[in-house]
């Protein structure tokens, strides 16, 4: 954005059910920045955008027959009413939704959403993932209007700046721009050496990287443990941020249910939060998850990708012109979404690793909860409890 406005690298919102994160925000003195507001949601299907904010909207969703609309609504409500995820662990979301919504209802409504998130793995994803997504949207904290989404004015980067300041105030040291490429141990009971730097040994290491990176940088991990980790796969993110002169639509979030469109969601942040930017520009994220490798959006140079994306925007939004684009930026990140396949509880890695005092705290361990900042803080707390418990016993 122009001026000094800061924007998040990826679109960000939180739910009223994200109590762990809300407590952190309050503890860090940022509650006055917190805004909860309803956001307009929609679904792009068969060349049209359908608002999707209520049961009435669902009943008007023309790509489905009336019976299919009812089945989608009922299946969603029954999933929300279930309180225990264990019933869903071994069932795929695809099998469950096909059974409850019919093959066509599944193919026209749910399948595009699952493919957008998990690509070629969409049919293997556990119904637990879907269950948690629906739960976290609907389980709200009393006093905050249900269905509203939360944002930190100024961006969620503020939260991490405040957190960093607190860590430093308590004597911690944070080093950014120092990627860890090797973790080794100086003898079976020795200290950990990072990147061969013997001058700064560590008593213990807690690795919070995705499993493939973890396995890469710790050469001493035993083979059977590596094989266990390798069973867990991830999708990767490609997200284009556009600064536009004119809005695209009145919606905050549009799920794109069309495989010919190379982005999966259109998130028009300024339609929800307005602009922190005095220039009145419109901020849009065009995002997708991909399997990487031969994925079109992953390998296409940024300027070319913009041309392709603009072509699709012209077809989707009659008022859009290429000249509305004032600026753009593409973020690509590996291993951003662990793929929670059916029976994921059986492969979930524990905090402890085969190497003494080397611990793993990774987003794959979020399961059965879905990946978001709130679960990161919850997992950190769970890890602390585990560590204190161990220390107390030893
Ligand atoms: C497209 C997208 C949209 C999202 N939207 C939301 C949302 O709306 N709400 C929400 O709550 N959450 C959202 N999330 C999830 C959230 O941003 C985090 O991904 C999640 O909380 C997991 O955090 P993490 O710390 O495990 O991973 P990350 O946030 O990915 O952090 C990993 C860190 O490790 C660093 N790193 C990598 N390799 C090394 C190395 N070798 N040495 C040292 N450091 C290294 C990276 O630079 C990075 O800073 C979204 C994520 C994505 C990708």
| Nearest-angstrom CA–CA distance, 329 and 285 | 10
The whole-number pLDDT of residue 102 equals: 95
Alpha carbon of 298 to ligand 1 centroid (Å)? 18
Task: Indicate the top mutation candidate among 41, 336, 382 to test ligand 1's pocket, ranked by most ligand atoms within 8 A of CB.
Answer: 336
pLDDT given at position 2: 45
Residue numbers of the chain with a pLDDT score lower than 70: 1-5, 140-146, 276-279, 394
* CB atoms closer than 10 angstroms to residue 289: 23
Q: Is the pTM of this model over 0.85?
A: yes
Q: Which atom of ligand 1 is nearest to the CA of 208?
A: 26
Please report how many Cα atoms fall inside a 13 Å half-sphere around the Cα of residue 336, on the Cβ side: 19
State phi, psi for 3 to the nearest 5 degrees. Answer: 65, -145
Atom 33 in ligand 1: residue holding the nearest Cα: 209
Quote the pLDDT of residue 370. Answer: 87
Structural contact between residues 9 and 147, judged by C-beta atoms closer than 8 angstroms: no
* Distance between CA atoms of residues 16 and 29, nearest Å: 18
Cα 89 to ligand 1 centroid, rounded to whole Å: 25
133 lines ligand 1 (CB under 6 A): no
* DSSP letter, residue 107: I
pLDDT at residue 356, as a whole number: 92
Atom 5 (ligand 1) nearest CA: 12
Q: Which atom of ligand 1 approaches the CA of 180 most closely?
A: 42
Residue of 372, 378, 380 with the most ligand 1 atoms within 8 Å of its CB, for mutation: 372
Give CA–CA dist 332/93, Å, rounded. 27
State residue 31 phi and psi, 5-degree precision: -60, -30
**255 C-beta closer than 6 A to ligand 1:** no
179 lines ligand 1 (CB under 6 A): yes
Q: Give the C-alpha distances (Å, rounded to integers) separating 84 from 107, 349, 391.
A: 27, 21, 32
User: According to the model, what pLDDT value does residue 145 have?
Assistant: 52
Nearest in space to 133 (alpha carbons), one of 340, 352, 382: 340
User: How many H-runs (helices) and E-runs (strands) does the chain carry?
Assistant: 13, 14
Among 7, 8, 9, 10, residue to substitute to test ligand 1 (most atoms within 8 Å of Cβ)? 10
Classify residue 249 by its DSSP letter. Answer: -
State residue 140's pLDDT score: 62
* Ligand 1 touching residue 71 (CB < 6 A): no
Mutate to test the pocket of ligand 1, among 373, 374, 375, 378 (most ligand atoms within 8 A of CB): 373
Residue 187: phi, psi to the nearest 5? 85, 160
CA atoms within 13 A on the CB side of 167: 10
Give the CA-trace dihedral at 46, 52, 55, 57, to 10 degrees. Answer: -60
Where does the chain have alpha helices with state H? 19-27, 55-59, 66-81, 93-105, 111-118, 127-138, 157-169, 211-217, 223-230, 269-273, 296-299, 302-316, 373-393
Burial of 317: CB neighbours in 10 Å, binned 0-12, 13-18, 19+: middle
Q: What SS3 state is found at 86?
A: helix
pLDDT confidence of residue 261? 95
Q: How many angstroms separate the alpha carbon of residue 373 from the centre of ligand 1?
A: 8
Chain centre distance of CA 69: 27
Planar angle of CA 364, 368, 370, nearest 5 degrees: 70
Strand, coil or helix: 130: helix
156 C-alpha to ligand 1 centroid (Å): 12
For residue 354, what are the CA distances in angstroms to 6, 201, 215, 222, 359? 42, 20, 12, 7, 9
Q: Is 378 in the pocket of ligand 1 (CB under 6 A)?
A: no
């Amino acid at each position: 954005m122009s001026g000094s406005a800061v924007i998040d690298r990826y679109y960000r919102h939180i739910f009223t059910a994200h109590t762990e994160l809300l407590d952190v925000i309050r503890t860090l003195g940022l509650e006055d920045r917190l805004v909860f507001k309803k956001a307009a949601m929609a679904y792009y299907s068969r060349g049209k955008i359908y608002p999707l904010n209520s049961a009435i909207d669902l009943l008007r969703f023309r790509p489905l027959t009336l019976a299919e609309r009812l089945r989608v609504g009922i299946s969603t409500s029954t999933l929300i009413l279930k309180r225990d995820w264990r019933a869903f662990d071994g069932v795929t979301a695809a099998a469950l939704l096909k059974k409850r919504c019919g093959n066509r209802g599944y193919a026209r409504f749910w399948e595009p959403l699952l493919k957008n998130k998990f690509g070629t793995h969409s049919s293997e994803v556990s119904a637990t993932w879907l269950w948690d997504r629906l739960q976290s949207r609907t389980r709200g904290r009393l006093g905050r209007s249900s269905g509203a989404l939360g944002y930190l004015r100024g961006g969620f980067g503020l939260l991490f700046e405040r957190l960093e300041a607190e860590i430093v105030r308590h004597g911690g040291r944070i080093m950014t721009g120092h990627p860890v490429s090797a973790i080794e141990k100086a003898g079976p009971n020795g200290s950990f050496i990072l990147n061969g730097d013997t001058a700064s040994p560590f008593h213990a290491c807690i690795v919070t990287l995705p499993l493939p990176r973890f396995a890469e940088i710790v050469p001493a991990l035993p083979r059977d443990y590596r094989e266990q980790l390798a069973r867990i796969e991830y999708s990767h993110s490609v997200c284009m941020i556009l600064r536009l002169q004119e809005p695209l639509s009145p919606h905050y979030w549009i799920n794109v249910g069309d495989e010919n469109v190379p982005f999966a969601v259109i998130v028009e942040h300024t339609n929800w939060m307005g602009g922190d930017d005095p220039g009145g520009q419109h901020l849009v994220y065009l995002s997708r998850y991909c399997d990487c490798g031969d994925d079109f959006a992953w390998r296409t140079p940024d300027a070319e990708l913009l041309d392709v994306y603009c072509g699709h925007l012209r077809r989707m939004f009659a008022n859009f012109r290429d000249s509305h684009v004032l600026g753009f930026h593409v973020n690509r990140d590996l291993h951003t979404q662990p793929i929670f396949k059916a029976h994921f509880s059986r492969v979930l890695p524990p905090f402890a690793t085969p190497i003494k005092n080397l611990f793993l705290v990774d987003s794959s361990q979020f399961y059965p909860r879905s990946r978001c900042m709130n679960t990161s803080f919850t997992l950190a707390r769970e890890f602390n409890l585990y560590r204190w418990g161990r220390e107390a016993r030893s």
